[in-house]
Amino acid sequence: MPDKIAFLPPKKSVLDRRDIIVSDLADLLPKGCLVSEPRGLVPFETDAFIAYRNVPLAVALPETTAQVAAVLKYCSRYGIPVVPRGAGTSLSGGAIPQSDAVVIGLSKLSHILDVDYANRTATVQAGVTNLNISEAVSADGYFYAPDPSSQLACTIGGNIGMNSGGAHCLKYGVTTNNLLGVKLVLFDGTIIDLGGKALDAPGLDLLGLVCGSEGQLGIVTEATVRLIAKPEGARPVLFGFQSSEEAGTCVAEIIGTGIIPVAIEFMDRPAIEICEAFAHAGYPMDVEALLIVEVEGSEAEMDAMLASIIAIARRHGVSTIKESQSATEAALIWKGRKSAFGATGRIADYICMDGTVPLSQLPYVLKKTGEIVARLGLRVANVFHAGDGNMHPLILYNINDPEDAARAEEAGNEILKLCVDAGGCLTGEHGVGIEKRDLMLHQFAHVDLDQQMTVRAAFDPHWIMNPSKVFPLEGRPAA
Amino acid sequence: MSDLHEPVSEDAAARIIHTAATVGAPLVIRGGGTRSLAGNGEAHDVLSSALLSGIESYNPAEMTMTAKAGTPLAEIEAALAEKRQMLAFEPLDLRPVLGTTGNPTIGGVFATNASGPRRFVAGAARDSLLGVRFVNGSGEVIKAGGRVMKNVTGLDLAKVLSGSRGTLAFLTEVTFRLLPVPETSTTIVISGVDDAQATAAMATALSMSVEVSGAAHLPETVRGRFVGGGLPAEPATVLRLEGLSASVTVRAEKLRAAMASFGTVSMLDRQATDILWREVRDIHPYADQTLRPLWRVSVAPTAGHQLVAALRLETGVDAFYDWQGGLVWLRMEADPEAGLLRHFIKALGGGHATLVRATPEVVATTPVLEPQPEAIAALSARIKLKFDPKGIFRSGVMG
């Protein structure tokens, strides 16, 4: 059984000075921007990786970049760990604090600063939600492409921290491919601007390094993102198969033929049942595997692409084909998929894995995943982005049964190692957080991680930024 | 005298670098040497990837390829063409404008983040780079990233190496994603439009649901140099559409109708389209066998023509635009005017200018790369030290 994942031991010197720190932070922030009462701190003790929780020392909710800088400068001066937080929707524990940490929450930085259609950019504060960006420009025919399932709640700052993806990144890419610039506060309070409205920036690609750095290189307070003209139309189609293998090989052939749909989502039978019971999306109930394939464009374009895709699906034994006949039906199909995590949460506790594997390995990894989970006496529902091999097995368990929880964690670890061994990686879009931190040495050699950690130290030499995350606690280079 | 090191393996490269670091001997990293700026060659030893060559794996169904860094780009493109796939970012070839010879390598493409017209929809080279193996300045062999399309495991070192121009590490192997070659393509040509109106036309085209994959403006001074002089007289604003035949036809009709209010509209077939965009990519009008200063300027798309208009009042300059106006190729008549150029870029909302070509004397006295704000320069210097603690890697590469 795996041990509980450790956080760095709290610094006694910080805990002992708690009252002074709270009082000093209160001086740096406007009224109502500091949480220090025990009851007020509870909502910040965990994120969507609910198996772990720590009440932080205090929570700062700055309203300006200058306030973020002042808090960071203060914390770095006294060696106080800092944990940045967007909406707290991380599935890997990226926003879970440690008891000696000051959480810097970005919820008050929630303004859209500039929308520039001629250059197709939006500049927003980091606490703006992902969906808010698309909603703000939708009436004018634009959208922001990355669409994680949590897009209603998650913030662009959190998306940048984790380099979030979503269902539609097969065509449009993930956050890093849609990010043009950020305002970044470094550990010591220095404010820098990386990138802007031009498509590329001079010098080293620091923006590329910051995106996906899980709050360890600095705190993003503003972001400039690409807007894209909305397609004329989009049409999701359901394909039901009698086996996961058939669905998996169908995906590989679609991609291999040169057709890139906007999205190819996969669900197995348990996932179909859970989502259908919740969303009544009209999913077929007599199949072992379901693909949601979405194409977009003009009617003629969609017809042509779908004809090719349907021909391929028929060669792979598809048993049900269901085209959405209206916008309402299309929305329902996506509602079912996007509510997969929430719907699963209604019937059981779960942990969601996020490994990515090469497409050719999908059927093998699905089969082995089933075996691992069955051996440990657990259930699994698979729902994931098949077009790019990003798997999301949901391992169902009972959080109130410690043995069950330990078995779920063990299953998760085995599945992630399976993904790496199949030529993939530990995490495709959720981030390492604390969840996968101790598995990093399964994917990387010490020398590889050392290079990452030394680069990290160029940004944060004393490891105060979200320090319990991403890199194994043992063997870190000295400051 | 400078030596040429051509390691035949990653381990051999690591030994050479380790030795150089031990004695503090600088190394200039070179791929095919086709992107080197004249006059930028101090007498340092050269570390070449020429003998680290070959495609290691190619799985068309996964749309990924792994190749050793010294693999000629031509070899890779030939293998991809067989399976009707391509590098989505259209790496530009600097040989025509620089007058260099030799074979561009895939490592050189990523080390310079060399990207062409499709960049504003398909991303730059860095967006296609999935994983790397490299030797750092201490002689350690390191891997970063992987070979799958979605991967957020740890710091994205592949990004910072892409475009680092051989200043951080010696790339030994790259893994990158691919896209299918579009079934067909066509170009809409709008004739007789000035730079400012062209910017408006391109913005309108890109606001439409027609998926424009190339948007360039070719003023009258350069227009005749494209497609063997086959574009209609007067300035040409060109918009590329790609995809399934059925959809390109429909989208082209829609776009033609919308562009008719800007100027006279005509179309190019697939063959002419291929030629045109390769020439746009490779800066064809300025492949003029001269060393007149050539700048690559990246600004917000709407700022490009304003920059050129401001410069024209002060100095002799010729220009054309890619990336909807955001990538400006500037050929100066005489002086590089670095100060003036960068002053205007700043005044127009920011961006950057890179000197791609000039005489050795000009290169020696001109800040070739955009100077960075102090805090960013300091941070970049700290990162450089983390890869290359002894500071042995010197850049010999532009792009």
CATH of the domain at A196: 3.30.465.10
What mean pLDDT, rounded, does chain A reach? 94
- Express each pLDDT in A317-353 by its tens digit: 999 999 888 888 888 888 888 888 889 989 999 999 9
Structural contact between residues A8 and A97, judged by C-beta atoms closer than 8 angstroms: no
Q: Quick one: B292-357 is in which CATH superfamily?
A: ACT domain (3.30.70.260)
pLDDT at B25 over 70: yes
- What is B4-180's CATH number? 3.30.465.10
pLDDT mean over A397-417? 93
**Cα–Cα distance measured from residue B284 to residue B296, given in angstroms and rounded to the nearest whole number:** 14
pLDDT mean over A204-230? 98
Residue A1: pLDDT band by 50, 70, 90 thresholds? Answer: very low
The SS3 assignment for A127 reads coil
Q: Which of A211, A229, A247 is the last residue of a domain?
A: A229
If you measure CA to CA, which chain A residue comes closest to B243? A301
At residue B154, the pLDDT reads 96
Q: Which of A229, A246, A281 is the last residue of a domain?
A: A229
pLDDT mean over A401-426? 95
CATH of the domain at A409: 3.30.70.2740
**Cα–Cα distance measured from residue B336 to residue B355, given in angstroms and rounded to the nearest whole number:** 8
- Express each pLDDT in A118-164 by its tens digit: 999 999 999 999 999 999 999 999 999 999 989 999 999 999 999 99
Which residues on adjacent β-strands are paired with residue A322? A238
> Is A154 within a domain?
yes
pLDDT at A2 over 70: no
> Is A315 within a domain?
yes
pLDDT mean over A216-234? 96
Contact at CB, A298 and B150, closer than 8 angstroms: no
* Residue of A184, A254, A391, A425 to mutate for B, most B C-beta atoms under 10 A: A425
pLDDT at A276 over 80: yes
Query: Could you tell me the residue range of the domain that residue A432 belongs to?
Result: 348-437
| Chain B touched by A198 (CB under 8 Å) | yes
- Express each pLDDT in B108-133 by its tens digit: 999 999 999 999 999 999 999 999 99
**Tokens 């996968």 found at:** A436
At residue A37, the pLDDT reads 96
User: For chain A, what is the domain count?
Assistant: 4
The fraction of chain A above a pLDDT of 70, given in percent, is: 99
pLDDT mean over A79-108? 97
Buried-state track A71-100, b at ≥16 Cβ within 10 A, e below 16: bbbbbbeeebbbbbbbbbbbbbbbbbbbbb
Least confident range from A42-46, A214-218, B392-396: namely B392-396
- Asked if residue A123 and residue A92 are part of one domain, the reply reads no
- Express each pLDDT in A362-394 by its tens digit: 889 999 999 999 999 999 999 988 888 999 999
Domain B184-281 falls in which CATH fold? Alpha-Beta Plaits (3.30.70)
Top pLDDT among A281 and B329 is at: B329
Residues of A in contact with B119 (CB under 8 A): 199
Q: Which of A73, A105, A137 is the last residue of a domain?
A: A105
At residue A169, the pLDDT reads 87
Closest CA to B100 of B169, B166, B162, B40: B40
Contact at CB, A119 and B300, closer than 8 angstroms: yes
* Residue of B89, B120, B153 to mutate for A, most A C-beta atoms under 10 A: B153
The fraction of chain B above a pLDDT of 70, given in percent, is: 97
* B45-48 and B4-5 beta bridge pairing: parallel
At residue B398, the pLDDT reads 44
At residue B1, the pLDDT reads 60
At residue A22, the pLDDT reads 98
Residue B282: pLDDT band by 50, 70, 90 thresholds? Answer: very high
What mean pLDDT, rounded, does chain B reach? 95
pLDDT mean over A191-213? 97
- Asked if residue A238 and residue A192 are part of one domain, the reply reads no
pLDDT at B399 over 60: no
Beta strands in A358-424 (DSSP E): 379-385, 393-397
pLDDT at B237 over 80: yes
CATH of the domain at A97: 3.30.43.10
pLDDT at B38 over 60: no
| Chain B touched by A254 (CB under 8 Å) | no
Chain B closest-CA separation from residue A69 CA (Å): 14
CATH of the domain at A240: 3.30.70.2190
Contact at CB, A425 and B140, closer than 8 angstroms: no
Residues of B in contact with A456 (CB under 8 A): 155
> Could you give the ipTM of this predicted complex?
0.96
pLDDT mean over A70-77? 98
- Asked if residue A219 and residue A118 are part of one domain, the reply reads yes
The fraction of chain A above a pLDDT of 90, given in percent, is: 81
Identify the sign of the CA torsion B163, B166, B167, B170. positive
Domain boundaries, chain B: 4-180, 184-281, 292-357
pLDDT at B284 over 90: yes
Give yes or no on whether B184-281 and B292-357 have one common fold. yes
Instruction: Locate all alpha helices (DSSP H) within A287-339, ordered by sequence.
Output: 299-315, 327-338
- Asked if residue A331 and residue A239 are part of one domain, the reply reads yes
- Asked if residue A399 and residue A325 are part of one domain, the reply reads no
> What are the structure tokens assigned to B133, written together?
């193996």
**Which of A 419-458 lie inside 8 A of B, CB atoms?**
423-432, 436, 440, 443-445, 447-449, 451-452, 454-458
Q: How many CB atoms lie within 10 A of CB B369?
A: 15
Contact at CB, B203 and A118, closer than 8 angstroms: yes
- Asked if residue A359 and residue A328 are part of one domain, the reply reads no
Residues of B in contact with A424 (CB under 8 A): 146, 148
* Residue of A177, A188, A451, A452 to mutate for B, most B C-beta atoms under 10 A: A451
